[in-house]
Amino acid sequence: MRTALAAVTALAVLGLSGCGDDSTGRPAAAGRIDGQLTVLAAASLTESFTRIGQDFETAHPGVRVILTFAGSSALANQINEGAPADVFASAAPANMAAVIEAGNGDGDPVTFARNQLVIAVPEGNPDAVTGLHDLTRLGAKVALCAEQVPCGAVACRALDAAGVALTPVTLERDVKAALAKVRLGEVDAALVYRTDVRAAAEDVDGIEFPESAEAINEYPIVVLKDTANRPTARAFVEYVRSDAGRGVLTAAGFQAP
C-alpha cells in the first residue's frame, strides 16, 4: 500500500510538471530562485500554505509552487518510499523524525509554528459542549484522527490529561477529514486544530478546553535531500519563517514557535 501511495504521488507530480510553460517546468539554474517547487505539507496547513505559496510565487515570478496536503504520517511514508518532492512540512516532530532518520532530509528541520486542539461542534453548539467531559456525559458521537496522524496523537495526550476515556465512532486519515464529519452532520463533535475551525467558521464552532495546553503540536519544516531545486527550496523555507510567512500563519490561528 505504501509503495502504491508513493507511485501515485510520483505520477501526480510528474503530470503536473508537464503543465504550463517551460520556464516554470524546469529546475532552477544553480543558485537561482526559479523553476518548479514541490511542497508536501500537513493537511492542517492547507489554507495558510496555499496563501504562502501564492505570495512566494508573487515575490519570485519565475517560481511555480506545487502543493500536496495530507496527513503527516502518509506524507512521511511517501517521501521515504521515494516520492519526488523538495520540501516537507509536518504537523509533528515524530513524522519529521521518520524522514530524517531515513536520511531524506537536507540539514536539520526547523520549527516554524505551533498548533492547539479545540472541540469542533456544529455552528451554534446545539449540545452546549463546554469541555471534554461533556462528550462522554452526553454520549456524543465523536470523530478523531487516527493515532499515527499528529492530530490523533495529540488528541490522545489531551484526553489522557483530562482523564477522559472516549471511544470515537470514526478514526480519520487527517484533520480535514475529521472536521468534515462535523460539517456533514455525521458526528456531534471532533477534536481538531484551532486553525481548522477558524478556516471553517461558517459551519462549525470551536470549544476551547484547558487540557489542550498539555498537548500542543510543533510544526517542523525541512528541505529534502533529493530536491532538484535546492536554492528555491531553501528560499521557500526561509519565506515560511519570515515576517510575511509568519503573518499568514498567525492570521490562520497558528502560534509562534
What's the confidence (pLDDT) of residue 1? 35
What's the confidence (pLDDT) of residue 19? 33
Burial of 203 (0-12, 13-18, 19+ CB in 10 A): middle
Cell readout for 101 is 532518520
What's the confidence (pLDDT) of residue 215? 84
Task: Output the pTM of the full model.
Answer: 0.84
What's the confidence (pLDDT) of residue 8? 37
Question: Residues in the chain with pLDDT < 70?
Answer: 1-30
Name residue 118's beta-bridge partners: 192
Determine the Cα–Cα distance for residues 108 and 238; give it in Å rounded to an integer: 13
What's the confidence (pLDDT) of residue 214? 85
What's the confidence (pLDDT) of residue 30? 54
pLDDT tens string 93-138: 999 999 999 999 999 999 999 999 999 999 999 999 999 999 998 9
Q: Of 196, 125, 118, whose CA–CA distance to 154 is shortest?
A: 118
**142 φ/ψ angles, rounded to the nearest 5 degrees:** -125, 140
What's the confidence (pLDDT) of residue 147? 93
Residues 226, 208 contacting (CB under 8 angstroms):
no
Determine the Cα–Cα distance for residues 154 and 170; give it in Å rounded to an integer: 16
